[in-house]
Amino acid sequence: MTAFVDQARISVRGGDGGNGAVAFRREKFVPKGGPAGGDGGDGGSVILLADEGLSTLLDFRYRHDYQAPAGERGGNKDKYGHRGQDAVLRVPAGTEVYDHASGELLADMSTHGERFVVASGGKGGRGNIHFATSTDRAPRRAEPGQPGEERVIRLELKLLADVGLVGFPNVGKSSLITRISAARPKVADYPFTTLIPHLGMVRLSDDRSFVVADVPGLIKGAHEGAGLGHRFLRHLERTRVLVHLLELSSTPGRTPLRDYQTLRRELALYDPALAGRTEVVVLNKLDLPETRKKFSALQRLFARRGLSLLGISAATGEGISGLQAALWSALEKARAAEVAGKGASSDSKMRSGIARGRGI
């Protein structure tokens, strides 16, 4: 199994530009040939390339320094040096690139095939062919190549998923993603079975599918680093829909409603935008007699708060088709809201531009 690495810090440097050359024409019967020194080639750049086929930053765990080749120096007979080859580093789609020194977000590599020049190569120096004048027909000077750009960057991976599964440890998130997709995370009856996020593709039909992310269980204080939640909460930031997976716990003080309220509070404290996501609330483990006995009463309890509570059993498959339909419906609503929001933003900018044009 490939190790999951979602953070890395690396040093990148573009190649130095090649030096310009000092040379003169030496052809037969041209005793006083002019300058013939060519330009140095530009240095190669370090380029990041988003690849949806990757799901981890593992490649950057053991190697931390990357440098593109330098450009060649100029030659005689007006020959220009070759440009240094670019160093292309593939990163998973969903990777954010930060300048380590300033903390500035340099790029959000969210689209497959997206490229970002993170360290430019130095420009090659000019050869002496560029310095001939009427008073200096045989210049003996040329420019040195410029050094390549150098910086330390921090890479942070945020998984690209439509739906995020959240819940306390051991509520059955791994069992659920196994049931509805081809993902096969570890499943066991102890807390924190899930130590890394998992992605699964849910295919309802040929033209209806979506990606689900299962992140490690959250507990109270997750936004401050309690449990495993703080490290992995960022993987929910790109999701459109959140599934709050609940259970009828035997732990004193825990109820499905209190668990739901705790989860929402932790999400809001980490990022207020997460609390505003479209959500589907689900009670798992209907195969257990006690859970089935209390399910109707729990539905009424949630309904009084304006919430619809679905019931499923990830172990037996009961209620799964209804959940998948509810998720697809929630996704369609979330996508429609996104389109409407972008349209409203565009209209607002247009009206603002018209107002400025009229001098309002």
59 domain residue, yes or no: yes
DSSP 2-29: PPP--EEEEEEEPPPPPPPP--B---TT
Both 203 and 307 in one domain: the answer is yes
pLDDT of the residue at 32:
62
What string of DSSP letters covers 56-118? --GGGTS--EEEPPPPPPP-STTPPPPPPPPEEEEEETTEEEEETTT--EEEEE-STT-EEEE
State the pLDDT at residue 272: 87
Is 60 exceeded by the pLDDT of residue 1?
A: no
| Single pTM value for the model | 0.65
Report pLDDT for 161.
78
> CATH code at 296?
3.40.50.300
Q: How far is CA 117 from CA 13, 63, 68, 98, 167, in A?
A: 11, 19, 12, 13, 39
Q: Identify which of 52-56, 188-192, 256-260, 341-345 has the greatest average pLDDT.
A: 256-260
Q: So what's the pLDDT on residue 192?
A: 40
Closest by alpha carbon to 8, among 101, 106, 91, 118?
A: 91
> Domain of 257?
163-343
Residue after which a domain boundary falls, among 126, 157, 188: 157
More confident residue, 345 or 247: 247
Q: Is residue 280 part of a domain?
A: yes
Q: Is the pLDDT of residue 308 over 90?
A: yes
**Do 72 and 175 have their domain in common?**
no
The verdict on 83 and 188 lying in the same domain is: no
DSSP string, 231-254: HHGGGGTT-SEEEEEE----STT-
pLDDT of amino acid 2:
47
**Is the pLDDT at 283 greater than 60, yes or no?**
yes
**pLDDT for 232 beyond 70:** no
Contact at 8 Å (CB) between 90 and 47?
Answer: no
* Residue whose tokens read 């449990």: 227
Residue 303: its pLDDT value, please? 96
**Burial class of 254 by CB neighbour count within 10 A (0 to 12, 13 to 18, 19+):** middle
Are residues 201 and 151 part of one domain? Answer: no
pLDDT above 90 covers a percentage of the chain that reads: 44
Q: Burial level of 179, CB count in 10 A (0-12/13-18/19+)?
A: buried
Domain boundary among 96, 128, 157: 157
What's the half-sphere exposure (Cβ side, CA atoms, 13 Å) at 150?
7
Give the span between the Cα atoms of 93 and 114, in whole angstroms: 8
Q: What is the pLDDT of residues 126-139, one digit of tens each?
A: 999 899 887 888 88
133 plus 187 within the same structural domain = no
- Inform me whether the pLDDT recorded for 190 exceeds 60: no
pLDDT at 197: 64
Please compute the mean of the pLDDT values over residues 58-71 and round it to a whole number. Answer: 91
Cα–Cα distance for residue pair 35/145, rounded to 1 Å: 19
| Residue range 195-224, pLDDT digits in tens | 456 777 788 877 788 888 787 655 454 444
pLDDT tens sequence across 88-146? 999 988 889 999 999 999 999 888 899 999 999 999 999 998 998 878 888 889 999 99
What is residue 53's DSSP assignment? T
pLDDT > 70? residue 35: yes
Cα torsion 334, 336, 337, 341: sign? positive
> Distance between CA 248 and CA 96 in Å, rounded?
38
Q: What is the mean pLDDT of residues 247-253?
A: 86
pLDDT value at position 175? 85
218 and 259: one domain? yes
Residue 249 · residue 168 · CB < 8 Å: yes
**Residue 296 and residue 191 share a domain:** yes
Domain boundary among 114, 133, 157: 157
The verdict on 1 and 131 lying in the same domain is yes
The confidence score (pLDDT) of residue 66 equals: 96
Asked whether the predicted pLDDT for residue 177 surpasses 70, the reply is yes
pLDDT above 70: percentage of residues in the chain: 83
Domain total for the chain? 2
57: in domain: yes
138 and 232 both lie in a single domain: no
- To the nearest 10°, report the CA torsion of 245, 250, 255, 260: -30
CA distance 212 to 26: 70
- 287 versus 252: the higher-pLDDT residue is 287
